[in-house]
Structure 1
Amino acid sequence: MAIETVRVDAQGLAQLAAERPHTLIFYVATMAFVALTLIPHGSRGDLSRQRKIYWGGTFSAAICAFIAALPNISTGLIVAGLCVFCLALPAYFGTQLIKIGDRVVAFESAAALPATADGRDPYTPRVSASKVWWLAVFGVVIGAVNVLGYVIGGDPVAYGLLGLFFFTVPPAVTGLGDGRYRQRVARGQYLQFGIITMLSAGIFTVCYLVAHSVGLRMRQPSR
């Protein structure tokens, strides 16, 4: 069975090389440029040079992916966009490689964030409450799409359960922690909290507020 699969794959590649040689060539080039973006990860060299390598590889991979999809322009644009998006995600969450003008855009700040007395303390020394709650908005959007797919679109029940997970478990955990540390609701991020309330039909909010109330009644832990 494995040998037959290898033969089928080899025949498919041979046919692709014969009918659309540019697709195979630029697909290989795309993978090579994606591999190039791995170099800056974990490197302690010059950050400016790392950014040039990473984004040079990212956009070169996107261009090659677009050319590989030709003559289908719409598919090429989608693939190129996905390529940039998928490489931008790890850069945002795990590095300081995204820089727009003089501003570095990253989930974790390069320097420790100051704690304030108005309930807007960062969740970690380098991650602000604002970033955490905007990320929560994104998660709730995913949950809402899954719930609507189950309720309206007739998707499998697993989709509905996944959406319900986003509406219940994260707010319970976050609310409990915020309450224990005597933080204000949503650590003062009321815009994101309001958006989440609407997107989740209040389910997220109820779970968070109940957990927050429970946390307030627990003994405050040392930080």
Structure 2
Amino acid sequence: MSTLSTSLFYGGLGILVVGLLLPGWDTATLPRRAVKRRIYWGATLVALPVLFAAGWPDVQSSLAFTAMACVLMGGWAYFRTPNIKVGGRIITADPSHREPDPTPRGGGRP
């Protein structure tokens, strides 16, 4: 791997770690959980092309890096967080995370 590829790889991993660790906060219209969910998946979407570029021009490495990120973030979201929400339903392995999002402190729509 070249120096640029190594830098991009660690940069992509850093973006994923920020997405994992950055806490959510309450806004006037969204509860903390919804903001955290958006941070988590936003960081994942930003990291995927960075990790793909880290493996370039070897397509197998590029696909392996992006698959690793998808498995890591998808698995973490399913087993440890309430970050997978499809059609208003939270999908998770942990029953304590299946409760609906609380209303925001500002009293806006959930």
Q: TM-score, normalised by structure 2?
A: 0.69
Secondary structure of the residue that 1:97 maps to in structure 2?
A: coil
* 1:62 pairs with 2:44: no
| Residue among 68, 74, 77 paired with 1:91 | 77
| Residue among 1, 4, 7 paired with 1:25 | 7
State the one-letter code of the partner of 1:57. A
Q: Is the 8 A contact 2:25 2:35 kept in 1?
A: no
The answer for unaligned runs of 5 or more in structure 1 is 1-15, 112-223
The alignment's C-alpha RMSD in Å is 2.1
State the one-letter code of the partner of 1:27. F
The answer for unaligned runs of 5 or more in structure 2 is 27-31, 100-110
Instruction: Give every structure 1 segment of 4 or more consecutive aligned residues whose post-TM-superposition deviation is greater than 3 Å.
Output: none
Equivalent-residue separation in structure 2 for 1:79 and 1:32 (angstroms): 13
Spell out, residue by residue over 1:22-60, the C-alpha distance to the aligned partner (whole angstroms, 9 max, x if none): 31331231122022122256x675111101111111222
Equivalent-residue separation in structure 2 for 1:103 and 1:40 (angstroms): 23
Larger Rg: 1
Equivalent-residue separation in structure 1 for 2:3 and 2:56 (angstroms): 11
- The residue aligned with 1:118 is none
Greater percentage in helix = 1
Give the aligned length: 92
Equivalent-residue separation in structure 1 for 2:13 and 2:80 (angstroms): 21
Q: TM-score, normalised by structure 1?
A: 0.37
Equivalent-residue separation in structure 2 for 1:59 and 1:81 (angstroms): 12
| Residue among 63, 79, 101 paired with 2:87 | 101
